Amino acid sequence: MLSKLSIRNYALIDSLELEFDSGLTIITGETGAGKSIMLGALSMIMGGRADSRVIADGGSKSVVEASFAFPPASLEQSFAENDLDWNAEELLIRREIASNGRSRVFINDVPVTLSVLASISGYLIDIHSQHENARLTSQTAQLEIIDSVSDNEKLRKRYAEAFRRFVEIRNRVKRIRQEQDRMRENREYLQFQYEGLKTLSPKRGELETIEKRFELLSDADEIRERLQYFRSLLGDSDRGALDLLRTAKAEADRVDYSLVGIETDEDTPAIPERLENVIVELQDMYETIDDAVLRIDADPAVLEKLSRRMNEYYDAVKQYRVKTADELVDMLEKIGSQLDAIETGGEELPMLEKEGKRVASEVKELAVRLTESREEGARRFSRVVTETARPLGLSNLDFSVNIAAGKMGPTGQDRVEFRCSFNKNQVAGPIAGMASGGEMSRLMLTIKRVLAGRMNLPTIIFDEIDTGVSGEIADKMGEMMVDMSRDMQVMAITHLPQVAAKGDSHFKVFKKDEETRTLTHVRRLDEEARVREIAAMMSGSEVGDAALNNARVLLGRKSGDKQE
């Protein structure tokens, strides 16, 4: 339950520290006193939208902090998934809003995201604002209620996943078919391109090889002459380098080098040996050049063939608007695949269509199961709501839930509509057109009462849910809140003395003018202060003895209820 609430520098609240008890807590105050400010602060704890305009003038940030005693054990798994330390006795949530609009969230002093806050706070508090009555007329909200009372959370999750997969496959199939249609329209052009490229038969790296070969053969005569001259210098004449070196070697062999002081060892070979090494190297060089001269072929027919092939590549690069000849190979493969896909429908499409049929069957089966579960839950819900509402002066209420088949969607195939009539011989119709303000308030409280046991929430806050009622009906609504408070913490913002008198604790919200500004304050009322507050609610600003006595009677009835 909500045990403590701290608000600092938020709208008209300078600093506020409140402690709450279990049971039914009443919050009263004149219109405009600041009750909505408290709710706004609590909505921040629930993950509501942050707005820097709530920061009081001159402040750097607003801080709202809430402490929850003995949080639901069902939250422990969420804490583990979000790497948060679990404390079974207390849960602390803090929200800070800076003047630049930035918001920071802390759970047990650990920073978390807003999405984590929203997922966790949903297990702690249910705030029923005045907008909830209008929301009840929404078929989306009505469907959520029926799924809640039907325990459809797991089944609906399975259905939603199957439906998401179904839509994903359906869209993929649609895109493939559109692509095939587009390709079929271009089939003739694709076939023309394919035949042209097939005739060219491009190969990776071929053009580069041809260009090098062509360049070599184009300069064959000049290259041959240079190589032949180089070869002659090495050894094609009596004055060639090889012959001269062999002569030098023969002369060197006849010299005794020790006589002239030239020593030889393993590291310093003799001069004849060194000359022999040079002769061997030059001889190898000579043979290499000789082979190269023989390989040079300047046949004009070969040059013509190479030139023709190069021009085929150059023309194709221009025609198909690519940058390199190798891209022609890629293009041929791509167009070939496109033509194959047109002929065969592609390999992916048949598999997707088969999977789509399987998933569609699963979606339909789960949708039927959801419908059956909802119909059963709706019958139980209708019966319980009708019975629970009778003490609130709705003895003629005819409440039912109509479930009709609709278009398959993310939540199933059902359209849910709450229908009711409040008078005998009145034809039931949608809630929005049948209920007055007071009837809507009573019906909403009834539904919340029915849902409270299933939601297993520690705390529920009613913001003037008793609008539009008075007298005995108001008293009965207060009793229903008391009944709810036996199983959970209930807080009620109310203008009705009959409801206020039922509270176990009572807080008053009021404004007070300070020197430079007006501030909102909240005070816990003792017994005498409660008497005066309830008397004022009954009679207005002039509180006489009669009003005080009536207030004591109302509070005495509450005391009597407790003793029973």
Handedness of CA 243, 248, 250, 253 (dihedral sign): negative
Cβ-based burial of 317 (10 A; exposed 0-12, middle 13-18, buried ≥19): middle
Positive or negative, the CA dihedral 257, 261, 266, 268 is negative
Measure the CA–CA gap between 492 and 499, rounded to whole angstroms: 8
In contact, 476 and 393? CB cutoff 8 Å: yes
* Phi-psi map region of 83: left, alpha, beta (phi>0 left; psi -120 to 50 alpha): left
Torsion angle in degrees (nearest 10) through CA of 225, 226, 232, 235: -130
Extract the tokens encoding 47: 């993950």
Q: Are 18 and 489 in contact (CB under 8 A)?
A: no
> Which fold, 1-124+457-525?
Rossmann fold (3.40.50)
Q: Sort residue 32 into left (φ over 0), alpha (ψ -120 to 50) or beta.
A: left
How high is the mean pLDDT in each 10-residue block of the chain (564 residues)? 93 91 94 85 87 74 93 89 91 91 91 91 84 78 92 94 96 87 82 92 93 80 77 77 86 76 65 87 87 73 88 94 93 89 72 93 96 96 94 92 94 94 89 82 89 81 86 91 92 93 95 87 94 89 84 76 46
Going 183 to 189 to 192 to 196, the CA torsion angle's sign is negative
Supply the Cα-derived Rg of the chain in whole angstroms: 47
Q: Six-digit token pair at 422? A: 């409040």
d(CA 219, CA 53): 84
CA neighbours closer than 13 Å in the CB half-sphere of residue 278: 17
Contacts of 114 (CB under 8 A, 6+ apart): 47, 103, 105
Q: Put the strands of the sheet holding 90-98 in their side by side order.
A: 13-19, 2-10, 61-69, 90-98, 103-107, 110-112
The H-or-E segment that residue 9 falls in is strand 2-10
Give the integer Cα–Cα distance in Å for 540 and 533. Answer: 10
Contacts 24+ apart (CB under 8 A), 238-243: 241/282, 242/279, 242/282, 242/283, 242/286
In the structure encoding, which two tokens stand for residue 252, read together? Answer: 């060197």
Instruction: Return the structure tokens found at 205.
Output: 């790296």
| Torsion of Cα atoms, 85 then 86 then 90 then 92, to 10° | 40
Contact 428, 398 (CB under 8 A): yes
| DSSP, residue by residue, 54-75 | GBPTT-SEEEEEEEEES--GGG
Q: Where are the beta strands (DSSP E) in 308-452?
A: 398-409, 412-421, 429-430
For residue 130, what pLDDT is reported? 67
Name beta bridge partners: 99: none
Strand 489-493 and strand 61-69: the pairing is: unpaired
Burial (CB count <10 Å: 0-12, 13-18, 19+), residue 32: exposed
Tokens of 539: 């009679």
| Residue 482 to residues 85, 449, 475, Cα–Cα distance (Å) | 34, 11, 11
Q: CA-to-CA distance for 196 and 320, rounded, in angstroms?
A: 10
Residue with tokens 């394919």: 194
Q: Which amino acid is at 2?
A: L
Whole-number Å distance between alpha carbons of 129 and 136:
12
* Residue 427: DSSP 8-state: P
> What is the C-alpha to C-alpha distance for residues 376 and 511, in angstroms, rounded to an integer?
50
Return the exposure string of 493-523: e unless at least 16 CB atoms fall within 10 Å of the residue's CB, then b: bbbbbbbbbbbbbbbbbeeeeeeeeebbbbe
Positive or negative: CA dihedral 175, 181, 184, 189 = negative
Q: Give the pair of three-digit tokens for residue 534.
A: 């309830």
Three-state secondary structure readout of 108-143: CCEEECHHHHHHHHCCCEEEECCHHHHHCCCHHHHH
Break the chain into its structural domains and give their ranges: 1-124+457-525, 206-324, 528-564
How far apart CA 28 and CA 114 sit, in angstroms, is 31
Residue 32 CB contacts under 8 Å (≥ 6 apart), including other chains = 511
- Can you give the pTM of this predicted structure? 0.67
Q: Residue 449 has what DSSP assignment?
A: H
